[in-house]
Amino acid sequence: MTKLAQLSLFSYGFRPFFLGGAIWAATAMLLWIGLITGKISFVTPYSPNIWHAHELVFGYAPAILGGFILTAVPSWTGRNPIQGSRLIVLFSIWLCGRVAFWFADSIGLAAAAVVDSLFLVAITAVAFREIIAGQNRRNIRIAIIFGIFAVANINFHVEVMIHDLPLYSTRAGLSILVILIMLIGGRIIPNFTSNFLAKMENRNLPTPFNRFDALSIGFSILSLVFWIGLPYWTFTGPALVIAGALQLARLARWSGFQTVREPLVFILHVGFLFIPLGFFTVGCSVIWPQFVPTGIALHAWSTGAVGVMTLAVMTRASRGHTGRPLTAPLATQIIYLCVLISALTRLTTIFLPELTLELLAIASLAWIGAFALFAILYGPILFSTSLEDWNLLKCVDMLRTCFNWLSQEVFSAPGNPARSYIQFFRNYSLAHTSIFNLVNG
């Protein structure tokens, strides 16, 4: 444990959780596609869609939120960051939750529920402890929301055991993610935008947080409460649509178009745009369910707001906290493009239901591509304290070295079918080095 704790990977909360979360986001999507197509099979007591929903809302998202809170709290409180052995324990708890949920059929629903629920409970306890010890009462609401999120995850398992369908807790979990983006995004987006525009000597600064923002957030939270508990109530749909208009008005006051020249800032505005879009689509699915399927409408929040905003924050935090320039190289912009394609393609099935399978395949591959590319590009950055930037070419070289070692030490036995795949990758990467140079970040 001592040698492991000394690794750079466990020197700050964002490092293991951003990397682990990205790898799991890509892996979970790949597993889900395999489940629904029959190409991959593993025994699970959950339906493929329930498994998929849980692993995005209560699997992937808590990892990124955990990395964010563990990185933000020291700056809020002035206390030392959680690192080393304590960080390893927290990361291991999250990892065990993913394994337990995957093998729930083998260990039992109750055991899987207990193990899976531990991480959000633990990270909530850590957040409360650090914020209270640092006398930073202003941010105690974030810890409270984390606590509610932990309860929603526990209720997910209870609903599955009793009713088979965790509808209330899934809506609650997704709503909490939306609330966190409204709160945290409403703080960091104007702040980062102001810093960028001031640097560019642009005086069109975002409007500071005021009573309109507070009222907009309050009404939006109320509409989400209606949606969680009374999704078919007459006033739920209109309330969600009004909330969408209010959040769109908030976004319009943050001078987003002034940041187009810097994708690292502009992507935050684009990601937040999926918040009002989600309110509109989910509201319309309540009002006109025959035209706007709820299962698709939700992806404006899940794939769009959560997917885009988390990658935006992950790339910025990874660069900023490792001493790199706060700008998005071309390879990072490709990450943004992939996740945007995933979100928009998934929502397009509302208008082109006859192409659902084709669009779902594109959306899934784009999602996997976005998070796999983040892991490949930013993994070495998160593992190392070196200020040397990594680009696609260097990552391919690293992968080629790994495959060479595998081919020599692991797959060297004659007749091993893996040898042909290793050789193919080696030849492919050598032949395409010049292409990767073109997208060198």
Q: Which two tokens stand for residue 333?
A: 């912009």
Q: Which residue would you say has higher pLDDT here, 16 or 418? A: 16
Distance CA 330, CA 263 (A): 10
Judge whether residue 363 has pLDDT over 80. yes
d(CA 223, CA 202): 36
**pLDDT classification of 406: cutoffs 50, 70, 90:** very low
**Which of the 8 DSSP states describes residue 183?**
I
Per the CB < 8 A criterion, the answer to whether 207 and 243 are in contact is no
* Residue 439 per-residue DSSP state: T
What is the per-residue pLDDT for 427? 45
Calculate the average pLDDT of the chain: 88
Distance separating alpha carbons of residues 263 and 267, to the nearest angstrom: 6
DSSP-derived secondary structure letter, 410: I
Please give the Cα distance from 91 to 85 (Å, whole number): 10
d(CA 90, CA 70): 10
Query: How far from 53 is each of 59, 117, 131, 244, 298, CA to CA, in Å?
Result: 9, 15, 31, 23, 11
Q: What is the mean pLDDT of residues 145-174?
A: 95
Question: Which amino acid is residue 125, in one-letter code?
Answer: A
Its pTM stands at 0.87
Residue 55 token pair = 């692993």
Helix (H) or strand (E) holding 144: helix 140-163
CA distance 422 to 75: 45
pLDDT of residue 43: 67
Percent of the chain that is helix, strand, coil (3-state, to 5): 80, 0, 20
Q: Which one has a higher pLDDT value, 107 or 384?
A: 107
Share of the chain above pLDDT 70, in %: 85
Helical residues (DSSP H) of 108-210, grouped into ranges: 109-133, 140-163, 167-180, 186-199
Q: Which residues of 183-222 are buried (b: 16+ CB within 10 A; e: fewer)?
A: bbbbebbbebbbebbeeeeeeeebeeeeeebeebbeebbe
- Of 60, 26, 75, the C-alpha closest to 317 is 75
What region, left, alpha or beta, does residue 233 occupy, with left being phi > 0 and alpha being psi -120 to 50 degrees? Answer: beta
Contact 277, 296 (CB under 8 A): no
pLDDT at position 395: 54
Please, which pLDDT band fits residue 58 given cuts at 50, 70 and 90?
A: very high
* CA within 13 Å, CB half, 381: 27
Q: If you search the block for the tokens 């080095």, which residue do you land on?
A: 433
Average pLDDT over residues 33-40: 82
Rg (CA), the chain: 22
Contact between residue 375 and residue 389 where contact means Cβ atoms under 8 Å apart: no
The three-state secondary structure class of 414 is coil
Task: Grade residue 388 by pLDDT with cuts at 50, 70 and 90.
Answer: low
Tell me the mean pLDDT in the region 382-391: 65
SS3 string of 27-73? HHHHHHHHHHHCCCCCCCCCCHHHHHHHHHHHHHHHHHHHHHHHHHH
Sign for the CA dihedral angle at 318, 320, 323, 328 comes to positive
* pLDDT tens per residue, range 87-142: 999 999 999 999 999 888 889 999 999 999 999 999 999 999 999 998 888 889 99
Query: Could you tell me the two tokens for 384?
Result: 């190392």
Residue with tokens 């706060």: 326
